[in-house]
């Protein structure tokens, strides 16, 4: 994947330079910030891969798409949420956490957050885990 030039940097000492981010770095930050939100069970692989990917090295950001501009970023996420949580509340908390994490770590402004709910994590009466996706 191609690195994206984010900022031309000239500090007070007059040293020139360029700051770049690999898109996978942005996706990793977004994945970690997403999984911190109560009610989010997993990041899904999206519509082409229905297997939920928990926090793992290989598939951490498989269900995350990013578009990076010179000073801003737009994010699309595919999620599995836990049943009995308010999805609008999850969305609101997710947007806030993504904005804080990405702006702090990269300096990029979050312009847009799009979320597709790919499934629900449901627990049966015996507390056994059962995943239902639609």
User: Could you tell me the two tokens for 26?
Assistant: 């942005």
Tens of pLDDT, residues 79-118: 999 999 999 999 999 999 999 999 999 999 999 999 999 9
Phi-psi region of 118 (alpha: psi -120 to 50; beta: other; left: phi over 0): alpha
Please, is 46 exposed, middle or buried when counting C-beta atoms within 10 Å of its C-beta (0-12, 13-18, 19+)? middle
As a whole number of angstroms, the distance between CA 26 and CA 73 comes to 9
As a whole number of angstroms, the distance between CA 113 and CA 91 comes to 9
Tens of pLDDT, residues 8-64: 555 667 788 888 899 999 999 999 999 999 999 999 874 444 444 444 445 667 899
As a whole number of angstroms, the distance between CA 66 and CA 73 comes to 7
């Amino acid at each position: 994947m191609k690195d994206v030039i984010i900022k031309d940097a000239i500090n007070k000492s007059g040293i020139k330079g360029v700051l770049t981010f690999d898109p996978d770095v942005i996706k990793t930050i977004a994945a970690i910030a997403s999984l911190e939100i109560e009610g989010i069970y997993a990041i899904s692989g999206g519509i082409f891969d229905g297997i939920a990917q928990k926090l793992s090295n290989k598939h951490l950001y498989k269900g995350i798409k990013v578009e990076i501009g010179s000073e801003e970023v737009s994010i699309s996420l595919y999620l599995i949420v836990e049943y009995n949580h308010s999805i609008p509340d999850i969305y609101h908390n997710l947007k806030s956490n993504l904005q804080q994490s990405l702006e702090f770590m990269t300096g990029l402004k979050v312009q847009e957050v799009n979320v597709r709910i790919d499934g629900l994590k449901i627990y049966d009466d015996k507390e056994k885990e059962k995943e239902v996706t639609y």
